[in-house]
Structure 1
Amino acid sequence: MIEVPTMTVERVSSETLETLVRRLSDGVVAGPDDLMGIGECLNVIESIESHEDTPQVWKQDLEVVKRLFRGIILEESADPQADWKKIQATLRNFSGNGQSFSSGSTQAGDAMETRVSACALAPAVVGDDEDAGNLEKEHVALEDAELIKDFIEEAKEHLASIELNIMSLESDPSDKEAINAVFRPFHSIKGVAGFLNLTAIHQLSHEVENLLDEARSGAIDVTDAVIDVVLRAVDILKVLLKELESALGCAEASLSSGLVASFLKTLKNFDPQQPLARPRSTEPPKVGKILVEKGLVEPEVVQKAAETAKERGMKIGEVLVDEGTLSPQDVAGALREQRRFKESTASVRVDTAKLDNLVDMVGELVISQSMVLQNPEVQAIKNQKLQKDSVQLRRITAELQRISMSLRMVPIKSTFQKLIRLVRDLSKKSGKEVRLEMRGEDTEIDRNMVEEIYEPLVHMIRNAVDHGLETPEERKAVGKDPCGTIFLSAEQKGGNIIIELRDDGRGLNAAKIRAKAVERGLISPEDNLEERALFDLIFHPGFSTKDEVTDVSGRGVGMDVVRRRVEDLRGKLEVSSVAGQGTRFELKLPLTMAIIDGMVICVGPERYVVPTVALRESLRASRESYLTVHGSGEMIKVRNQLMPLIRLHDMLGVEPKFRNPWEALILVVNEDQKSYCLLADEIIGRQEVVIKSLGAGLRHVRGLSGGAILGDGKVALILDVKGIVSAYEEGGQYGHDDRQRRVA
């Protein structure tokens, strides 16, 4: 591994503290509601306190900050905004006149008087502490903002590509194509940076390019040390790009050239001196080899299949599928991996605002077309040519809408790729052996949702590594593979995308969850919850079964963020677990935020849309299935299960056609692990509708999530099932003579 010169404790502490101050002052942590950001700040504080020589006066002030942070997280703070200001004031004292450093060294005090450097954002890459080179800045004139902006976007894409391919290279260091796939992005960044006179970025990219060129030529082996160097270079480039991006619109940018100089000084002494153990192949890996490396089939089986394929004039993959050894999906995945470095797709950059406007206008076009063709006067015309042209118009507009919506869709691959690096880092930090297996990376999802879903996946993977997977010793003791597996997949089902994340760890401890819930007052000792309802408690804010806080998890901040973010995306989240075998999370999300797949229903004279993701079934109830239960109100018995009856006409304030449940229609919905029956008059049909905002005045009306224009030009409100159920639970049961309560 690469050796980094040891830094003094005072220097490490002050630079780490500078990171903390910068996070708060520059808006990296948004405020008291940014729980993820606060969690990262707590990690920084604990890293400062862990040093033996950290001045005691620092620890005292930071302990106050920690208490204020934790009060905000656990919702115990009476005034979070006031506490937030106290935190900022305390930390500004550190970066101001240095009084809080009185018991520290002069070196630490001097360092804090210097403007905070972004170098602290990339730990473990700073060089010798004797020259303070990490605080040097390169001042770059920004003469062409558009060129700089394009460079930043392209460089970000290149860095994402590097992180993906470096992981593939780590699994097969002899893969020359993988080395080239890492080399080329650095070469591209270097070329454009030189043209734009971005000296620091140009120098860093050039030196790493040279290192990779040695690997390409076979002069050095691709070892863990080489991979660590490349990943550290990526981290520094991210810092430089962030500094460059923050300066857009200004006359010049200030880049951390000292950070690059320190890294290059370390790189200069880097010499693994490890000759190649075997010649490198220029050919892409064979399908059989890929399948063996993935653990899907034994080498002997591949050898036998190769012989059979040669006799029959078939391909190995065809033989393995034909014999039932592997599924077509397994072979297809290997084929995709084989050609992953050969395929390229031409693309053009389009302003996202223009794209959204196009999608909106196409939606309006579809609505207008339906309104024209459903006009009674137009329908009264019996001209055959008009009818033929109308059919053609419907076909063209439907295809136009499909294509325009597909423009919003991007593969979820970019989100999945980021998690490869995360798992690698968590594996090293936790001391556990972890492999990440992925499937369905090419599944497409609305581009607006791609980034939104990343944070929940990060929290779930951190939770799986820290809580779910056992240590190698524990796994060996119970007969498991020492290396734990996290499986991540995505697939499209109907109008939804299903994301599954599971691990093969210890599973959820129902007894421990119950004990913790009783301790926190979430349930009483007498409550007899079903296992699914018990598991659902892990999503409660601040809930954690971890006995001690680690760098990975344990503060109870994370899973509540997952649930909230998924619900904001109008999705569903379910968890299941088997003791000793692992835990499974399933996220069910709509493919796009612009269109919703819903059931159009009638309640009185009005029409409403119920999202199909929340709808389990619809039925006609018999008179005998309608019951009133003391203390529970009206209930419907569905297959021996009693479900609360929610009268939509009461909630929405309209006069229904039918008041008797056995005459009306029952819609069974699931919410918070419970089933409810919604009373409606009839179902008109299933339909995909374009979601329209209700405007600022109606945006926060409970029980409504938007509106949609139907084919006849009239508006139908889209129901928010969660809001309706919550209003029902909080408002108590509805009596027969009290039916005027509204959702709002």
Structure 2
Amino acid sequence: MDRKELSTGSIQEGLQNHEDCKNTILSVEDIKDPDLTVAQLLEEKKVVSEKLSTLLELVGELVIAESNITQHPTIKSIKNESLNSTLSRFHKILIDLQDVAFSTRMIPISGVFKKISGIVHELQNQSDIKVLLHTSGEDTEIDKSRVDLIFEPIVYILKNSIEYGLESSDKRLSNGKSEIKNIYLSARQSINEVLVTVRDDGHGLDRRKILEKAKQNGIIIDDSIRLTNQGTTFVLRIPISLGTMEGTVVRIGIKYFTIQTVELREFVSLRDKKEIELDKDQNVLDIRGTFVPIFNINQILNHKESIEYDNKDPLIIVLEYEKKLLGIRVDEIIGSQNVVIKPLIGIMEQAQGVNGFTILGNGNVSLILDAKSIFSKQEISGVK
């Protein structure tokens, strides 16, 4: 864990110094020819980036082609050990190629942390108030396209922590804290996102102002909440730009949907279980003592069209996100397969509960369900 000394003061001045050059920072390896101008170096980097993007697209198409071959009825009907062995080996090579290709656009977040430390270093002599900046998780990898997007928000939060969130030395001592202020900057990877946390040990949020603002907006807050003198924590959730993923495909009526396999907790048959109706639009299912809310796909996607279930062997897929659970009714589990994530376009970009689509091996289009947005929309959790 690194420890950097930091001082309060005008962060805007330090930011401006970095703003002019932050998008043109190049590594030593980039400067192979000292006669090249910055513009030429940036153009070379742009060409390399475009080639990498093309490579990633081709790898994605190769994944789709491989799925089309292995899922073709004719191929699946052939009982030949040599063919199966060859297809299995081809699949393994493709997965390795895919992992290497997509890793080319991931870089450690340490570059962002170093830039912030540079700003901290410039500002440390502008005030008598001393702050220790603690950093951790610098090796956490992030999509390079997100780097510039997160830099300014982190610095803005840091600025607010220093200028508004930290008390004077005398007040800190009277509150039983050390005279030196502490700010913690950390990063870690979750299932499909990177969490960047900025935390301080200052006086915390102003409870009175928050309650007043909440009442003005018709929001009810428990008056017993104590927010002051506890510091403040901000968490930035940065999605990992997955080009492909291991997904589980399900069928609901004549439509197909794909869920990231790591977000699936289990499948439950309704043959021997009965849903409990809480109200007109909400049922729950008792799964080993945990009551899990059950939804149909229209409730998830906010669609109004009718659903025609097969009703031969009703199933529930149970999703899990941050220890919360919910179930979705499906007709059939097609199976797991590696899928290429394609972005939604046009009016579909505003679709709720989905974050893309994929083309299955049988040629059908499948929407990719987004567990995070589904749970945020439903605001539910399994309750024992």
Q: Which residue of 353, 356, 366 maps to 2:53?
A: 356
Where 1:385 maps in the other structure, the secondary structure is helix
Partners in 2 of 1:723 and 1:494 — Cα distance?
A: 14
Between 1:389-398 and 1:701-710, the stretch displaced more is 701-710
Name the residue aligned to 1:647. 296
Q: Percent identity?
A: 32
Q: Is the 8 A contact 1:424 1:434 kept in 2?
A: no
Name the residue aligned to 2:8. none
- 1:712 is displaced (CA, Å) by 3.4
Q: Which residue of 605, 608, 630 maps to 2:257?
A: 608
Which letter does structure 2 place at the counterpart of 1:504?
D
Partners in 1 of 2:342 and 2:17 — Cα distance?
A: 43
Q: Which residue of 310, 334, 348 maps to 1:698?
A: 348
1:588–1:637: structure 2 CA closer, same or farther, 3 Å change rule?
Answer: farther
Q: Is the 8 A contact 1:433 1:471 kept in 2?
A: no
Matched, 1:521 2:172: no
Partners in 1 of 2:348 and 2:74 — Cα distance?
A: 35
- 1:704 is displaced (CA, Å) by 3.7
Higher helix proportion: 1
Q: Which residue of 152, 155, 165 maps to 1:468?
A: 165
Q: Is the 8 A contact 2:69 2:361 kept in 1?
A: no
Which letter does structure 1 place at the counterpart of 2:279?
T
1:403-552 → structure 2 map (5 Å cutoff): 403-424=100-121, 432-518=129-215, 520-524=216-220, 528=222
Partners in 1 of 2:171 and 2:238 — Cα distance?
A: 35
- 1:428 is displaced (CA, Å) by 5.9
1:710–1:450: structure 2 CA closer, same or farther, 3 Å change rule?
Answer: farther
- 1:632-656 CA-to-partner distances (Å, cap 9, x unmatched) read x424377999887542146443524
Matched, 1:625 2:271: no
- 1:399 is displaced (CA, Å) by 0.7
- 1:724 is displaced (CA, Å) by 6.2
1:638–1:425: structure 2 CA closer, same or farther, 3 Å change rule?
Answer: farther
Which letter does structure 1 place at the counterpart of 2:113?
F
- 1:305-326 CA-to-partner distances (Å, cap 9, x unmatched) read xxxxxxxxxxxxxxxxxxxxxx
Q: Is the 8 A contact 2:63 2:340 kept in 1?
A: no
- 1:581 is displaced (CA, Å) by 4.0
Where 1:157 maps in the other structure, the secondary structure is coil
- 1:398 is displaced (CA, Å) by 0.9
Tell me how large the CA RMSD over aligned residues is.
4.6
- 1:155 is displaced (CA, Å) by 6.4
Q: Is the 8 A contact 2:245 2:260 kept in 1?
A: yes
Q: Which residue of 26, 41, 65 maps to 1:157?
A: 26
Where 2:278 maps in the other structure, the secondary structure is strand
Partners in 2 of 1:726 and 1:444 — Cα distance?
A: 25
1:688–1:508: structure 2 CA closer, same or farther, 3 Å change rule?
Answer: farther
1:589–1:659: structure 2 CA closer, same or farther, 3 Å change rule?
Answer: farther
1:463–1:593: structure 2 CA closer, same or farther, 3 Å change rule?
Answer: farther
Which letter does structure 1 place at the counterpart of 2:62?
L
- 1:407 is displaced (CA, Å) by 1.0
Partners in 2 of 1:609 and 1:399 — Cα distance?
A: 22
Name the residue aligned to 1:569. none
Where 1:414 maps in the other structure, the secondary structure is helix
Which letter does structure 1 place at the counterpart of 2:258?
V
Could you state the TM-score of these two structures normalised by the residue count of structure 1?
Answer: 0.40
1:482–1:403: structure 2 CA closer, same or farther, 3 Å change rule?
Answer: same
Q: Is the 8 A contact 2:248 2:260 kept in 1?
A: yes
Aligned residue pairs total 356
- 1:583 is displaced (CA, Å) by 3.1
Partners in 2 of 1:595 and 1:458 — Cα distance?
A: 32
- 1:280-334 CA-to-partner distances (Å, cap 9, x unmatched) read xxxxxxxxxxxxxxxxxxxxxxxxxxxxxxxxxxxxxxxxxxxxxxxxxxxxxxx
Which letter does structure 1 place at the counterpart of 2:249?
V
1:25-36 → structure 2 map (5 Å cutoff): none
Gapped regions of structure 2 (runs ≥ 5): 1-10, 380-384
Could you state the TM-score of these two structures normalised by the residue count of structure 2?
Answer: 0.72
Name the residue aligned to 1:565. none
- 1:405 is displaced (CA, Å) by 0.6
Matched, 1:376 2:58: no
1:467–1:608: structure 2 CA closer, same or farther, 3 Å change rule?
Answer: farther
Q: Is the 8 A contact 1:667 1:680 kept in 2?
A: no
1:420–1:405: structure 2 CA closer, same or farther, 3 Å change rule?
Answer: same
Where 1:655 maps in the other structure, the secondary structure is coil
Partners in 2 of 1:481 and 1:410 — Cα distance?
A: 36
Q: Which residue of 239, 244, 248 maps to 1:595?
A: 244
Matched, 1:389 2:86: yes
1:312-327 → structure 2 map (5 Å cutoff): none
Matched, 1:717 2:367: yes
- 1:434-476 CA-to-partner distances (Å, cap 9, x unmatched) read 2222122122221112222223322322232234332222222
Partners in 2 of 1:459 and 1:618 — Cα distance?
A: 41
1:596–1:450: structure 2 CA closer, same or farther, 3 Å change rule?
Answer: farther
Where 1:370 maps in the other structure, the secondary structure is helix
Which letter does structure 1 place at the counterpart of 2:75?
V
Q: Which residue of 636, 644, 650 maps to 2:284?
A: 636
Name the residue aligned to 1:665. 316
Q: Is the 8 A contact 2:321 2:375 kept in 1?
A: no
Q: Is the 8 A contact 2:314 2:329 kept in 1?
A: no
Partners in 1 of 2:80 and 2:319 — Cα distance?
A: 45
- Structure showing greater relative contact order (alpha-carbon pairs closer than 8 Å, 6 or more residues apart): 2
- 1:687-715 CA-to-partner distances (Å, cap 9, x unmatched) read 55322133335333444432112333332
Which letter does structure 2 place at the counterpart of 1:705?
N
Which letter does structure 2 place at the counterpart of 1:441?
E
Name the residue aligned to 1:15. none
Matched, 1:708 2:358: yes
1:57-96 → structure 2 map (5 Å cutoff): none
Gapped regions of structure 1 (runs ≥ 5): 1-42, 48-120, 124-151, 162-184, 199-240, 250-347, 532-576, 730-744
1:323-362 → structure 2 map (5 Å cutoff): 351-362=48-59
Partners in 1 of 2:328 and 2:48 — Cα distance?
A: 43
Partners in 2 of 1:517 and 1:612 — Cα distance?
A: 39
- 1:189-244 CA-to-partner distances (Å, cap 9, x unmatched) read 9x94xx58x9xxxxxxxxxxxxxxxxxxxxxxxxxxxxxxxxxxxxxxxxxx8xx8
